[in-house]
Amino acid sequence: MTTVIYPGSFDPVTNGHKDIIDRASRVFDKVIVSVLENPRKAPLFSLEERVEMLRLIARNYQNVEVDSFRGLLIDYARQKNTNIVVKGLRAISDFEFEFQMALINRKLDSRLETMFMMTNSRYSYLSSSIVKEVGLYGGDICELVPREVYHLVMRKIREQAGSAN
């Protein structure tokens, strides 16, 4: 049985992430979508909120599970008994960072393999930051995030916009 980890910030989950989850779930036996708890980043959504939103997506699949982790990905992968990580690639700008991450992870653990899935061209422009930016300035994010989480994302963005006034 092939289990893979799909790690990320998911702040919030977008249709681009959902597309990768959907495709990975067809290729691998089990996909663990895992929210990275990064103490150096100040996310808009709490770890619990990001996990909760991903669970609303994962409900649609029998082989997708949601979790979170902190620290090194190689340690987390060992803990989950897998050596495969899935990442999405949008553009050349992603490539440089992901290339570096994949190589450092392999240097730390030579068994770790990073598999890249090319973005769906419909979502190549999409990132969590774009969603937050568009939403904060009153743009429509309806086609940018999965419908299961739309209201949760909008509520948070409105709270944020309210507190900024």
Q: Contact letters (x/-) for ligand ADP, 124-163, by CB under 6 A?
A: --xxxx----------------------------------
How many residues are recorded in the chain? 165
Is 128 assigned a catalytic role? Answer: yes
Any idea of the CA torsion for 64, 70, 80, 31, to the nearest 10 degrees?
20
Q: Site for ligand ADP (CB under 6 A): which residue of 23, 55, 80, 90? A: 90
User: How far apart, in whole angstroms, are the C-alpha atoms of residue 20 and residue 16?
Assistant: 7
Under 8 Å between Cβ of 28 and 2: yes
Site for ligand ADP in 10-29 (CB under 6 A): 10, 14, 16-17, 20
User: How far apart, in whole angstroms, are the C-alpha atoms of residue 125 and residue 162?
Assistant: 27
Q: Is the CB of 5 or the CB of 30 nearer to ligand ADP?
A: 5
Under 8 Å between Cβ of 152 and 57: no
- Of 2-10, 38-46, 51-59, 150-158, the window that binds ligand ADP (rule: CB under 6 A) is 2-10
**Residue located via tokens 């909120």:** 49
Q: What does DSSP assign to residue 119?
A: P
Q: Is the CB of 88 or the CB of 146 nearer to ligand ADP?
A: 88
User: Which residues are the active-site residues?
Assistant: 17, 41, 90, 128
Binding site for ligand ADP (CB under 6 A): 8-10, 14, 16-17, 20, 87-90, 94, 119, 123, 126-129
